[in-house]
Amino acid sequence: MTQRILLFALLALCTSAASAARYDKMRKQVVASMLVTGELVVAPDGTVESYAIDRADALPPEARQLIAKVVPTWELDAKQADGSPLQSPTAVRMSMQLLARPIDGVDDRLRVTIEDTAFRDPNAPADVKRNGELAPPAYPVLAAHSGMTGTVYVLLRLNPDGTVAETHVERVDMTVVSDEKTLLKFSKILAKAAVGAAKQWTFNISPERLAHPAPVEVRVPVDFLMPGKTSTTEYGRWHAYVPGLYAPIPWRNPTADGGDAEDGIGALVPGQFYSTDAPFKLRGPKTGS
């Protein structure tokens, strides 16, 4: 899909979803997103020895070109599960969120970037495991009747027994286009439903992790999809959404600039949970143009 075709597709979505909205306002509101997964082999010094993208042939050319340009240059802060340095090359699962945004002042081009990244070692012992299934929330009736869909990123602070001590919604991304007031209303409805379900979840925490003084936290992206849908988007295809505002975590100290780190939440795969103590994190720039 060329950038021109993608831009027209986004504008067509705007027209069908909110026909009364002005072109320029909707153009600024909508972003195209794609979630890509794969595997890295990380050297002990954190450099990338090799990488492989899942179903690379399903990705559009602009996505493959950007990944080929940027990913081999990455460096990671890498360590073993116990915090000690890596001793040998390690295969790491990765996910990344690609974004395509209109370029100001240019009518037929988009800037494609890697917005967020997440990594995990599939062979490392898990400090936190789910206790049974993480039962999804019931779809709020009003949201379902209104066709409102989105993804709620919930952060959970756990008690030592694995129950949920505190919840915090970091961001709600709406995967429909509407006016600001409507999106805000339904983002709150979806967030409330996600938090209600999350408070019932329980986890098993290893004794080794409990010995650490830092709070035990996990992130869970919760998808709200219309009946019959199994994902917000088909793998390898762009989909349009409206990014929500990030809400800093209330029990953490803010960063030096007064904000808080989002820790790549846009790259998290819905239906999975992620520890905030992941031993692999990107060091340095993550994207290109």
| Series of mean pLDDT values for 10-residue runs along the chain (289 residues) | 47 46 54 91 95 95 93 90 84 92 70 89 84 91 92 96 97 86 94 97 93 90 78 76 90 58 78 83 72
Task: Check residue 262 and give its pLDDT.
Answer: 61
289 is a domain residue: no
Task: Check residue 29 and give its pLDDT.
Answer: 66
Query: What is the Cα–Cα distance from 43 to 89, expressed in whole angstroms?
Result: 4
Task: Check residue 167 and give its pLDDT.
Answer: 97
Contact 154, 219 (CB under 8 A): yes
Got the DSSP string for 87-138?
Answer: -S-EEEEEEEEEEEEEPTT-TT-EEEEEEEEEEE-TTSPPSEEESS--PPPP
Task: Check residue 41 and give its pLDDT.
Answer: 96
Task: Check residue 168 and give its pLDDT.
Answer: 97
Task: Check residue 228 and give its pLDDT.
Answer: 62
72 is a domain residue: yes
223 is a domain residue: yes
Element housing 173 (H / E): strand 164-174
Task: Check residue 269 and give its pLDDT.
Answer: 86
Q: Cβ atoms within 10 A of the Cβ of 247, count? A: 15
Task: Check residue 93 and give its pLDDT.
Answer: 93
Total domains in the chain come to 1
Task: Check residue 253 and give its pLDDT.
Answer: 73
Q: Which residues contact 109 (CB under 8 A, 6 or more apart)?
A: 3, 4, 7, 102, 103
Task: Check residue 108 and give its pLDDT.
Answer: 64
204 is a domain residue: yes
235 is a domain residue: yes
Query: What is the Cα–Cα distance from 58 to 45, expressed in whole angstroms?
Result: 32
Task: Check residue 255 and give its pLDDT.
Answer: 54
Where in the sequence is the domain holding 26, given as residue range(s)? 3-283
Cα angle vertex 110, ends 104, 111, to 5°?
A: 90
Task: Check residue 186 and give its pLDDT.
Answer: 96
